[in-house]
Amino acid sequence: MKLKKIALGLVAVLAVAATAGWFTLDKETRGLLATVPTNRDLLFWSQPQRDAAFRALDRLPVLAKSRLVAAGGTATPLPPGPPLKLPVDIDAYMAGQRSAALLIVHDGKLRMERYGLGFDGSGRWTSFSVAKSMTSTLVGAAIRDGHIKSMDDKVSDYIPQMKGSAYDEVSVRQLLTMTSGIAWNEDYADPKSDVAQFNKHQPEEGVDALVSYMRRLPRAVPAGTRWNYSTGETNLVGILVSQAVKKPLATYLSEKVWAPAGMEQQATWLLSKTGQEISGCCIQAAARDYARFGQFILGGARVNGQAIVPDGWLAEATSKRTGIGQDGRGYGYQWWTYDDGSFAARGIFGQGIFIDPKRKIVIVSNANWAGGARDKEASPAREAFYKAVQKAVDDEVGGAPAAVQPK
């Protein structure tokens, strides 16, 4: 029945498009309509469908509804700098990444800006799990604003409908570090996994869809004893923040980051079936604004000299709080960390914001990896690219700089 409703809705959209005139639509909407999916199972869309959809997920409400993240009146400049000399064939690298955008900002200057897949700087590309790091930043803001009292408070203190579930034992800190100990399957290739199923869950009346799903999950191990990647838990973080600040996440993101940090374009945030921002995913923004977010974090998440998060919180958030079973790597508060002090936001199909405080580097990647999160070639190639950029900057200044952490 669901597929029939979606199909009927798409027919209606196509009819409207035909009536309005195909060529009056922007190129992203035309591309999406030309390859429009017939279901909401994004993880299992074809590559051409993803190519079209990632730049236009917020254009067709029949596929997904969204909420606006308003920008301010004046954009923070990203002045051009001299092209960074890299021992890398950029065209070949971008082709291997199936890259839509690749930006390098060094010391506040834009040293590279390239686009692919027919995308350009005026469009918005979906972030997927890059949004997790933005959601984490809103937790810090909510603590600074006094809406969340402590990282050691329990989840059910802020989401009463989680009382009586396994999350009664889980703290805000454990939720952010994905060490809750709750069972969760994030296998993107498995249509029966939690990450593939939770959006299809039919909630009880009056209960948020995500809360309804998550409060049924069993405990696997004691809280705080194991790291297990869970998009569902970041979605729960978003509900927790929204409940605490008593406003939509998109509004809070606009107030705390998007407007004061000087984003150039408005963004959008996709919503769940019960109208909550999908906080583990799905902010649509311009590539330059992803770079501005990276610069905002690099500068200590400050507005007019005042940090929007508590003193020391950002340094904790962007350094290893738990191991992930990889040498030299870890996980902070929804940030992937490196032992050299760098950290990154990452999305399933090659989206990324890499930040190196020592070298004052921000690298933005938008892409549609052929193999998704477990692409055996694209992921290590991007890690090698990060290292090449770091070396190029070191070569310019004559050696690696001393360690620096965001405050």
Write the pLDDT tens digit of every residue in 231-285: 999 999 999 999 999 999 999 999 999 999 999 999 999 999 889 999 999 999 9
| CATH number of the CATH domain containing 334 | 3.40.710.10
Asked whether residue 46 is domain-assigned, the answer is yes
Query: What's the pLDDT at 335?
Result: 98
| Cα separation, 390 vs 363, whole angstroms | 10
**Does one domain contain both 400 and 386?**
yes
- Residue 246: CB atoms within 10 Å: 8
Strand order, beta sheet including 283-285: 66-69, 267-270, 283-285, 125-126
pLDDT at 211 over 80: yes
Q: Which of 22, 46, 64 is the last residue of a domain?
A: 64
Higher pLDDT, 192 or 140: 140
Query: What's the pLDDT at 15?
Result: 47
Tens digit of each residue's pLDDT (9 = 90 or more) over 273-316: 889 999 999 999 999 999 999 999 999 999 999 999 999 999 99
**Does one domain contain both 295 and 405?**
yes
pTM tops 0.85 = yes
**Does one domain contain both 291 and 386?**
yes
Q: What percent of the chain has pLDDT over 70?
A: 88
What domain range includes position 14? 2-64
| Cα separation, 185 vs 344, whole angstroms | 23
Query: What's the pLDDT at 399?
Result: 67
Asked whether residue 58 is domain-assigned, the answer is yes
Across the chain, mean pLDDT equals: 90
Query: What's the pLDDT at 188?
Result: 86
Asked whether residue 177 is domain-assigned, the answer is no
Domain count, the chain: 2
Confidence of residue 3 (pLDDT cuts 50, 70, 90): very low
pLDDT at 122 over 50: yes
What is the residue type of 23?
Answer: F
**Does one domain contain both 56 and 117?**
no
Tens digit of each residue's pLDDT (9 = 90 or more) over 38-85: 566 677 788 888 999 999 989 878 778 999 999 998 999 999 999 999
Asked whether residue 101 is domain-assigned, the answer is yes
pLDDT at 4 over 50: no
Q: Are 317 and 237 in contact (CB under 8 A)?
A: no
Query: What's the pLDDT at 119?
Result: 96
Asked whether residue 355 is domain-assigned, the answer is yes
**Does one domain contain both 10 and 119?**
no
**Does one domain contain both 304 and 322?**
yes
- Residue 74: CB atoms within 10 Å: 9
**Does one domain contain both 393 and 334?**
yes
Asked whether residue 361 is domain-assigned, the answer is yes
Q: What percent of the chain has pLDDT over 90?
A: 76
Asked whether residue 350 is domain-assigned, the answer is yes
Mean pLDDT, range 194-205, rounded to an integer: 85
**Does one domain contain both 119 and 33?**
no
Query: What's the pLDDT at 24?
Result: 56
pLDDT at 323 over 90: yes
Angle formed at CA 331 by CA 330 and CA 336, multiple of 5 degrees: 90
Mean pLDDT, range 205-227, rounded to an integer: 94
Which letter, b or e, does each residue of 155-188 get, where b requires 16 or more Cβ atoms within 10 Å of its Cβ?
Answer: bbbbbebbeebbbebbbbbbbbbbbbbbebebeb
Mean pLDDT, range 360-372, rounded to an integer: 94
pLDDT at 123 over 50: yes
